[in-house]
Structure 1
């Protein structure tokens, strides 16, 4: 279900807003002047529109993509967690604990074999073994952890298509 804020945002986006979003997804380093030129609008108009996209939550941030291998985080691990209880309190406790873990890049509540699926970056298998022993198995309410080591990343962080 779409919230009122989301519904309002969807209705308020025009072709120029969509162009700004597509261009910034492709290259977040574009200057306001370059972005304005590519959208055929003035820099002042482009700045106002970009600010509005941030203020309304359509755009949350623009950031650099860093090669994990170059910063010593070459191992990608997907971890499925099953909680012992499916209550709002157990979900909240688990989520609060995961928020504090810098190695966990993404954590998603899912339907299926797991309650949560986590995307984790570490340097190597030894680093994951330490993380597993010190943090993952001590997460609140966890009954089972299933681990999947990525062999090859085929597609990662593709831009949204709209």
Structure 2
């Protein structure tokens, strides 16, 4: 099947996961292939939906956003899931939403400038969402790792 990813594709993904803005010539040099191959393979992976774009890795605290908070959300009813995530997605400070198993129905990551901003978000935007039964908050003290998995095959 021509749409399968091979070791070359995995090498390209691993290199780009370190720096998504790296130009194709540098990726090619590190992967030991031609820039044209990188361009063709990258286009293929975009068409397959494997690569969804490039993102910046930001240090929010330097930008004045001192709090990262995770919310474990319990729903009143499982059928309200779509409605609740759609409402959460409207809040600009919400950066990740996960439908989860275990103790919580939804797990959410938000950024806030400080505790006053977080309290305002929590009370005025999050607690007012119809369908939420209960929320447990977890304040992140420090992020120690943020990476992608390695896509290169071992061995």
Q: TM-score, normalised by structure 2?
A: 0.90
- Counterpart-to-counterpart distance in 2, 1:75 and 1:44: 43
Of residues 2, 5, 29, the one that matches 1:37 is 29
Query: Unpaired segments of 5 or more residues in structure 2?
Result: none
Q: Which has the higher helix share?
A: 1
What is the aligned partner in structure 2 of residue 118 from structure 1?
A: 108
Matches within 5 A, 1:106-145: 106-145=96-135
* 1:146 alignment partner, SS class: strand
Match of 1:148 among 134, 138, 146: 138
Name the CA distance, whole Å, in 2 between partners of 1:141 and 1:86: 9
Identify unmatched segments of 5+ residues in structure 1: 1-6
Equivalent residues, number: 151
Report the secondary structure of 2:121's partner residue: helix
What residue is the counterpart of 1:50 in the other structure? 42
Q: Distance in 2 between matches of 1:154 and 1:34?
A: 28
Is it true that 1:19 corresponds to 2:40 in the alignment?
Answer: no
Quote the offset at 1:57 in angstroms: 0.9
Please give the alpha-carbon distance, in whole angstroms, between the structure 1 residues aligned to 2:12 and 2:54.
12
Instruction: Quote the residue 2:69 is aligned against.
Output: 77
How far off is 1:154 after superposition? 2.6
Match of 1:158 among 136, 147, 151: 147
Aligned equivalents of 2:140 and 2:26: distance in 1? 38
SS in 1 for 2:61: helix
Greater relative contact order structure (CA < 8 Å, 6+ sep): 2
Q: TM-score, normalised by structure 1?
A: 0.87
Determine the C-alpha separation between the residues in 1 that align with 2:29 and 2:100: 42
